[in-house]
Protein backbone atom coordinates (compact mmCIF):
# COMPACT_ATOMS: atom_id res chain seq x y z
CA UNK A 1 0.00 0.00 0.00
CA UNK A 2 1.18 3.53 -0.69
CA UNK A 3 1.48 6.06 2.07
CA UNK A 4 1.52 9.64 0.91
CA UNK A 5 3.82 12.23 2.40
CA UNK A 6 2.05 15.54 2.79
CA UNK A 7 2.23 19.18 3.75
CA UNK A 8 1.39 20.59 7.13
CA UNK A 9 -1.75 22.62 7.54
CA UNK A 10 -4.47 20.02 7.03
CA UNK A 11 -5.76 18.03 9.96
CA UNK A 12 -8.70 15.97 8.84
CA UNK A 13 -9.07 12.87 6.73
CA UNK A 14 -10.21 13.11 3.16
CA UNK A 15 -13.91 13.29 2.59
CA UNK A 16 -15.12 9.75 2.03
CA UNK A 17 -16.48 9.36 -1.46
CA UNK A 18 -19.40 7.07 -2.34
CA UNK A 19 -18.32 3.45 -2.84
CA UNK A 20 -14.95 4.04 -1.18
CA UNK A 21 -13.81 1.56 1.48
CA UNK A 22 -12.86 2.99 4.84
CA UNK A 23 -9.74 5.09 4.79
CA UNK A 24 -6.55 3.80 6.28
CA UNK A 25 -5.03 6.85 7.96
CA UNK A 26 -1.32 7.38 8.41
CA UNK A 27 0.37 10.00 10.55
CA UNK A 28 3.28 11.52 8.71
CA UNK A 29 6.23 13.46 10.01
CA UNK A 30 4.56 16.61 8.63
CA UNK A 31 1.88 16.29 11.28
CA UNK A 32 -1.05 15.59 9.05
CA UNK A 33 -3.29 12.61 8.68
CA UNK A 34 -4.64 11.23 5.49
CA UNK A 35 -4.94 7.93 3.78
CA UNK A 36 -4.60 6.28 0.42
CA UNK A 37 -7.94 4.91 -0.69
CA UNK A 38 -8.17 1.67 -2.64
CA UNK A 39 -11.30 1.90 -4.75
CA UNK A 40 -13.54 -1.00 -5.73
CA UNK A 41 -12.00 -4.46 -5.91
CA UNK A 42 -12.86 -4.61 -9.60
CA UNK A 43 -10.55 -1.66 -10.34
CA UNK A 44 -7.70 -3.38 -8.48
CA UNK A 45 -8.24 -6.59 -10.43
CA UNK A 46 -8.22 -4.61 -13.67
CA UNK A 47 -4.90 -3.07 -12.71
CA UNK A 48 -3.47 -6.53 -12.03
CA UNK A 49 -4.33 -8.00 -15.43
CA UNK A 50 -2.27 -6.86 -18.38
CA UNK A 51 -4.52 -8.76 -20.74
CA UNK A 52 -7.39 -6.44 -19.88
CA UNK A 53 -5.25 -3.44 -20.69
CA UNK A 54 -4.31 -4.77 -24.11
CA UNK A 55 -0.62 -4.52 -23.19
CA UNK A 56 0.86 -7.99 -23.12
CA UNK A 57 4.56 -7.24 -22.74
CA UNK A 58 6.24 -4.74 -20.45
CA UNK A 59 8.50 -3.24 -23.09
CA UNK A 60 9.27 0.42 -23.55
CA UNK A 61 8.52 2.12 -26.89
CA UNK A 62 11.46 2.13 -29.28
CA UNK A 63 12.84 5.63 -29.57
CA UNK A 64 15.66 6.65 -31.89
CA UNK A 65 17.25 8.79 -29.18
CA UNK A 66 17.99 7.30 -25.78
CA UNK A 67 16.19 8.78 -22.80
CA UNK A 68 18.65 10.62 -20.57
CA UNK A 69 18.01 10.33 -16.88
CA UNK A 70 14.44 9.07 -16.80
CA UNK A 71 11.13 8.33 -18.51
CA UNK A 72 8.48 10.62 -17.08
CA UNK A 73 4.70 10.28 -17.36
CA UNK A 74 2.51 13.16 -16.17
CA UNK A 75 -1.24 12.57 -15.82
CA UNK A 76 -3.40 15.65 -15.27
CA UNK A 77 -7.04 16.66 -15.51
CA UNK A 78 -6.78 19.69 -17.82
CA UNK A 79 -4.42 20.89 -20.52
CA UNK A 80 -2.76 23.60 -18.42
CA UNK A 81 -2.48 21.82 -15.05
CA UNK A 82 1.01 20.57 -15.91
CA UNK A 83 2.18 24.07 -16.86
CA UNK A 84 0.84 25.79 -13.74
CA UNK A 85 1.42 23.14 -11.09
CA UNK A 86 3.98 20.55 -12.26
CA UNK A 87 6.37 22.86 -14.05
CA UNK A 88 9.25 23.62 -13.84
CA UNK A 89 9.76 19.86 -13.33
CA UNK A 90 8.65 18.89 -16.86
CA UNK A 91 10.63 21.69 -18.50
CA UNK A 92 13.76 20.69 -16.58
CA UNK A 93 13.29 17.02 -17.50
CA UNK A 94 13.02 17.88 -21.21
CA UNK A 95 16.13 20.05 -20.96
CA UNK A 96 18.21 17.19 -19.57
CA UNK A 97 17.02 14.78 -22.28
CA UNK A 98 14.38 12.76 -20.45
CA UNK A 99 11.51 11.10 -22.33
CA UNK A 100 8.36 13.00 -21.38
CA UNK A 101 4.75 11.99 -21.97
CA UNK A 102 1.78 13.97 -20.61
CA UNK A 103 -1.76 12.57 -20.46
CA UNK A 104 -4.76 14.94 -20.26
CA UNK A 105 -7.95 13.25 -19.08
CA UNK A 106 -10.61 15.86 -19.84
CA UNK A 107 -11.55 18.04 -22.80
CA UNK A 108 -12.19 21.76 -23.11
CA UNK A 109 -13.59 23.94 -20.34
CA UNK A 110 -16.48 23.49 -17.95
CA UNK A 111 -18.71 25.69 -20.15
CA UNK A 112 -17.14 24.86 -23.52
CA UNK A 113 -16.35 21.26 -24.54
CA UNK A 114 -14.31 22.33 -27.59
CA UNK A 115 -10.78 21.09 -26.92
CA UNK A 116 -9.08 22.49 -30.02
CA UNK A 117 -7.64 25.60 -28.34
CA UNK A 118 -6.40 23.72 -25.26
CA UNK A 119 -4.82 21.05 -27.46
CA UNK A 120 -3.14 23.69 -29.64
CA UNK A 121 -1.91 25.50 -26.54
CA UNK A 122 -0.33 22.41 -25.03
CA UNK A 123 1.32 21.48 -28.32
CA UNK A 124 2.81 24.98 -28.52
CA UNK A 125 4.03 24.89 -24.91
CA UNK A 126 5.77 21.52 -25.29
CA UNK A 127 7.29 22.53 -28.62
CA UNK A 128 8.63 25.63 -26.88
CA UNK A 129 10.09 23.57 -24.02
CA UNK A 130 11.67 21.09 -26.44
CA UNK A 131 13.33 23.70 -28.65
CA UNK A 132 17.10 24.04 -28.42
CA UNK A 133 18.45 27.56 -28.54
CA UNK A 134 20.01 27.01 -31.97
CA UNK A 135 17.03 25.41 -33.73
CA UNK A 136 13.66 26.62 -35.06
CA UNK A 137 10.44 25.96 -33.18
CA UNK A 138 8.92 22.64 -34.27
CA UNK A 139 5.14 22.87 -34.51
CA UNK A 140 4.35 19.67 -36.41
CA UNK A 141 3.02 16.71 -34.46
CA UNK A 142 2.36 13.16 -35.64
CA UNK A 143 -1.06 11.85 -34.58
CA UNK A 144 -2.06 8.27 -33.78
CA UNK A 145 -5.04 6.65 -32.06
CA UNK A 146 -3.72 3.53 -30.29
CA UNK A 147 -6.09 1.36 -28.27
CA UNK A 148 -5.49 1.40 -24.53
CA UNK A 149 -7.63 -1.12 -22.64
CA UNK A 150 -9.80 -1.24 -25.78
CA UNK A 151 -10.35 2.54 -25.80
CA UNK A 152 -8.96 4.80 -28.56
CA UNK A 153 -6.60 7.45 -27.19
CA UNK A 154 -5.40 10.44 -29.18
CA UNK A 155 -1.60 10.39 -29.05
CA UNK A 156 0.66 13.10 -30.47
CA UNK A 157 4.43 12.90 -30.98
CA UNK A 158 6.50 16.02 -31.66
CA UNK A 159 8.04 15.76 -35.13
CA UNK A 160 11.77 15.24 -34.89
CA UNK A 161 11.47 14.90 -31.10
CA UNK A 162 10.03 11.44 -30.48
CA UNK A 163 10.84 11.66 -26.79
CA UNK A 164 8.02 14.23 -26.38
CA UNK A 165 4.46 12.85 -26.46
CA UNK A 166 0.98 14.03 -25.48
CA UNK A 167 -2.18 11.95 -25.03
CA UNK A 168 -5.80 13.11 -24.69
CA UNK A 169 -8.71 11.03 -23.37
CA UNK A 170 -11.40 13.68 -24.12
CA UNK A 171 -13.78 13.10 -21.19
CA UNK A 172 -16.07 15.98 -20.15
CA UNK A 173 -14.53 18.25 -17.55
CA UNK A 174 -16.16 20.19 -14.78
CA UNK A 175 -17.89 19.54 -11.50
CA UNK A 176 -21.51 18.83 -10.65
CA UNK A 177 -22.81 22.30 -11.39
CA UNK A 178 -25.20 24.16 -13.66
CA UNK A 179 -22.57 25.85 -15.83
CA UNK A 180 -22.55 23.09 -18.43
CA UNK A 181 -25.04 20.62 -19.85
CA UNK A 182 -25.44 17.44 -17.76
CA UNK A 183 -24.89 15.03 -20.65
CA UNK A 184 -22.58 13.30 -21.02
CA UNK A 185 -21.74 12.88 -17.35
CA UNK A 186 -18.81 14.90 -16.00
CA UNK A 187 -15.74 13.33 -14.44
CA UNK A 188 -17.17 14.29 -11.05
CA UNK A 189 -20.38 12.38 -11.74
CA UNK A 190 -18.48 9.39 -13.11
CA UNK A 191 -16.40 9.22 -9.91
CA UNK A 192 -18.83 10.16 -7.14
CA UNK A 193 -22.20 9.05 -8.53
CA UNK A 194 -21.19 5.94 -10.48
CA UNK A 195 -22.48 7.50 -13.70
CA UNK A 196 -21.25 6.32 -17.07
CA UNK A 197 -19.75 8.98 -19.27
CA UNK A 198 -18.48 9.12 -22.83
CA UNK A 199 -15.88 10.98 -24.80
CA UNK A 200 -16.45 14.26 -26.59
CA UNK A 201 -14.32 15.78 -29.33
CA UNK A 202 -12.69 14.08 -32.35
CA UNK A 203 -13.91 10.56 -31.48
CA UNK A 204 -17.11 11.14 -29.47
CA UNK A 205 -19.26 8.54 -27.81
CA UNK A 206 -16.62 6.15 -26.44
CA UNK A 207 -18.16 4.91 -23.17
CA UNK A 208 -16.33 5.08 -19.85
CA UNK A 209 -17.00 4.14 -16.27
CA UNK A 210 -14.57 4.48 -13.39
CA UNK A 211 -13.06 1.00 -13.72
CA UNK A 212 -12.56 1.48 -17.47
CA UNK A 213 -10.87 4.84 -16.89
CA UNK A 214 -8.52 3.27 -14.34
CA UNK A 215 -7.77 0.49 -16.86
CA UNK A 216 -6.88 3.04 -19.58
CA UNK A 217 -4.60 4.95 -17.21
CA UNK A 218 -2.91 1.71 -16.16
CA UNK A 219 -2.45 0.74 -19.82
CA UNK A 220 -0.85 4.10 -20.57
CA UNK A 221 1.51 3.62 -17.63
CA UNK A 222 2.49 0.15 -18.86
CA UNK A 223 2.89 1.33 -22.44
CA UNK A 224 5.15 4.29 -21.65
CA UNK A 225 7.00 2.30 -18.95
CA UNK A 226 8.00 5.32 -16.85
CA UNK A 227 10.29 5.30 -13.86
CA UNK A 228 8.65 8.54 -12.67
CA UNK A 229 4.97 9.56 -12.56
CA UNK A 230 3.74 13.10 -11.88
CA UNK A 231 0.15 13.93 -11.01
CA UNK A 232 -1.84 16.39 -8.89
CA UNK A 233 -2.82 16.34 -5.21
CA UNK A 234 -5.26 13.52 -4.26
CA UNK A 235 -5.62 14.33 -0.58
CA UNK A 236 -7.70 17.49 -0.55
CA UNK A 237 -11.38 17.69 0.20
CA UNK A 238 -12.84 18.96 -3.04
CA UNK A 239 -15.95 21.10 -3.53
CA UNK A 240 -19.06 20.04 -5.38
CA UNK A 241 -18.73 23.01 -7.68
CA UNK A 242 -15.84 24.08 -9.85
CA UNK A 243 -13.98 26.75 -7.91
CA UNK A 244 -11.50 29.38 -8.89
CA UNK A 245 -8.70 30.40 -6.49
CA UNK A 246 -10.20 31.93 -3.39
CA UNK A 247 -13.27 29.72 -3.78
CA UNK A 248 -14.05 26.48 -2.00
CA UNK A 249 -10.70 24.78 -2.47
CA UNK A 250 -9.22 22.42 -5.01
CA UNK A 251 -10.76 21.72 -8.39
CA UNK A 252 -12.56 18.36 -8.09
CA UNK A 253 -11.17 17.18 -11.43
CA UNK A 254 -7.63 17.62 -10.09
CA UNK A 255 -8.31 15.53 -6.99
CA UNK A 256 -10.25 12.83 -8.83
CA UNK A 257 -7.61 12.31 -11.53
CA UNK A 258 -4.86 12.08 -8.91
CA UNK A 259 -6.83 9.44 -6.97
CA UNK A 260 -7.47 7.44 -10.12
CA UNK A 261 -3.76 7.59 -10.98
CA UNK A 262 -2.83 6.15 -7.58
CA UNK A 263 -5.29 3.32 -8.17
CA UNK A 264 -3.82 2.71 -11.64
CA UNK A 265 -0.34 2.50 -10.09
CA UNK A 266 -1.29 -0.61 -8.11
CA UNK A 267 0.78 -3.48 -9.46
CA UNK A 268 3.20 -1.16 -11.31
CA UNK A 269 6.50 -1.90 -9.51
CA UNK A 270 8.68 -0.44 -12.26
CA UNK A 271 7.50 3.05 -11.33
CA UNK A 272 10.10 4.10 -8.78
CA UNK A 273 9.13 7.71 -8.15
CA UNK A 274 5.69 9.31 -7.75
CA UNK A 275 5.28 13.05 -7.21
CA UNK A 276 2.01 14.70 -6.19
CA UNK A 277 1.66 18.41 -6.94
CA UNK A 278 -0.41 20.94 -5.01
CA UNK A 279 -2.64 23.16 -7.12
CA UNK A 280 -4.78 26.23 -6.30
CA UNK A 281 -3.76 26.57 -2.62
CA UNK A 282 -0.09 27.17 -3.49
CA UNK A 283 -0.96 30.80 -4.15
CA UNK A 284 -0.95 31.19 -0.35
CA UNK A 285 2.34 29.31 0.14
CA UNK A 286 5.71 31.08 0.16
CA UNK A 287 7.18 31.67 -3.29
CA UNK A 288 9.91 29.06 -3.73
CA UNK A 289 11.11 29.44 -7.34
CA UNK A 290 14.03 31.61 -8.34
CA UNK A 291 13.51 34.64 -10.56
CA UNK A 292 14.97 32.67 -13.48
CA UNK A 293 12.70 29.67 -12.86
CA UNK A 294 9.57 31.84 -12.51
CA UNK A 295 10.46 33.76 -15.67
CA UNK A 296 10.96 30.56 -17.67
CA UNK A 297 7.73 29.05 -16.31
CA UNK A 298 5.92 32.21 -17.42
CA UNK A 299 7.44 32.01 -20.91
CA UNK A 300 6.21 28.43 -21.29
CA UNK A 301 2.71 29.41 -20.16
CA UNK A 302 2.72 32.37 -22.54
CA UNK A 303 3.41 29.97 -25.43
CA UNK A 304 0.29 28.05 -24.35
CA UNK A 305 -1.87 31.14 -23.95
CA UNK A 306 -1.09 32.47 -27.41
CA UNK A 307 -3.20 29.54 -28.65
CA UNK A 308 -5.69 29.43 -25.78
CA UNK A 309 -6.29 32.90 -24.38
CA UNK A 310 -8.52 31.53 -21.64
CA UNK A 311 -5.46 29.91 -20.09
CA UNK A 312 -4.25 33.30 -18.84
CA UNK A 313 -6.08 36.17 -17.20
CA UNK A 314 -4.29 38.62 -19.50
CA UNK A 315 -1.63 37.48 -21.95
CA UNK A 316 -0.23 40.99 -22.44
CA UNK A 317 0.32 41.64 -18.72
CA UNK A 318 1.11 38.07 -17.63
CA UNK A 319 3.89 38.10 -15.08
CA UNK A 320 4.88 36.09 -12.01
CA UNK A 321 3.35 37.34 -8.75
CA UNK A 322 5.97 36.35 -6.20
CA UNK A 323 4.95 38.56 -3.27
CA UNK A 324 1.79 38.13 -1.24
CA UNK A 325 -1.03 40.19 -2.74
CA UNK A 326 0.90 40.87 -5.93
CA UNK A 327 -0.61 40.19 -9.33
CA UNK A 328 -3.94 41.16 -10.81
CA UNK A 329 -4.68 38.04 -12.83
CA UNK A 330 -5.67 34.68 -11.38
CA UNK A 331 -2.92 32.13 -11.63
CA UNK A 332 -0.02 34.56 -11.64
CA UNK A 333 0.95 33.56 -8.09
CA UNK A 334 1.33 29.93 -9.24
CA UNK A 335 4.15 30.98 -11.57
CA UNK A 336 6.48 31.56 -8.60
CA UNK A 337 5.57 28.38 -6.77
CA UNK A 338 6.08 24.64 -7.12
CA UNK A 339 5.09 22.26 -4.32
CA UNK A 340 5.65 18.58 -5.18
CA UNK A 341 5.23 15.88 -2.56
CA UNK A 342 6.66 12.42 -2.79
CA UNK A 343 4.92 9.11 -2.28
CA UNK A 344 7.19 7.22 0.17
CA UNK A 345 8.37 3.69 -0.54
CA UNK A 346 8.68 4.54 -4.22
CA UNK A 347 12.05 6.35 -4.04
Whole-number percent of the chain with pLDDT over 90: 50
What is the pLDDT, as a whole number, of residue 85? 96
In this predicted model, what pLDDT tens digit does every residue of 299-344 receive, in sequence order?
999 999 999 888 787 778 888 888 865 555 568 899 999 999 999 8
C-alpha 307, offset from chain centre: 20
Residue 84 binned pLDDT confidence (cut-offs 50, 70, 90): very high
Is the per-residue pLDDT at 244 higher than 70? no
In whole angstroms, give the CA distance from residue 2 to residue 345.
Answer: 7
Phi, psi of 336 (to 5 degrees): -105, 5
In this predicted model, what pLDDT tens digit does every residue of 150-205 receive, in sequence order?
999 999 999 989 999 999 999 988 754 555 555 688 888 899 888 899 999 899 99
Is the per-residue pLDDT at 17 higher than 80? no
What is the pLDDT, as a whole number, of residue 180? 55
Number of H helices, E strands in the chain: 9, 14
Structure letter (DSSP) for residue 333: G
Provide the mean pLDDT of the chain.
78
Residue 99 binned pLDDT confidence (cut-offs 50, 70, 90): very high
Domain residues of the chain, as ranges? 53-342
Higher pLDDT, 314 or 247: 314
Which CATH class for the 53-342 domain?
Answer: alpha beta
Contacts of 256 (CB under 8 A, 6+ apart): 77, 187, 188, 191, 238
Residue 6 binned pLDDT confidence (cut-offs 50, 70, 90): very low
Tell me if residue 88 falls in helix, strand or coil: coil
Higher pLDDT, 32 or 52: 52
Amino acid sequence: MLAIAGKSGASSLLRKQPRLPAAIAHATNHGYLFGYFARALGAVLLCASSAVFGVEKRTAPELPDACVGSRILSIVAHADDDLYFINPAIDQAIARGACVHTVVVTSGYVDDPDNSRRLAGLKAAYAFMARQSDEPLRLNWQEQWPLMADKPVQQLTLAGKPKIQLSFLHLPCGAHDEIRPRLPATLYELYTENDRSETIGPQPGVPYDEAELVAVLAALIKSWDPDTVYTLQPTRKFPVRHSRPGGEGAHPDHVIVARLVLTALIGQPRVRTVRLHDDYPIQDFPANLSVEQATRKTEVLRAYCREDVRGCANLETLRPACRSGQGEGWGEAWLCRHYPQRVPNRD
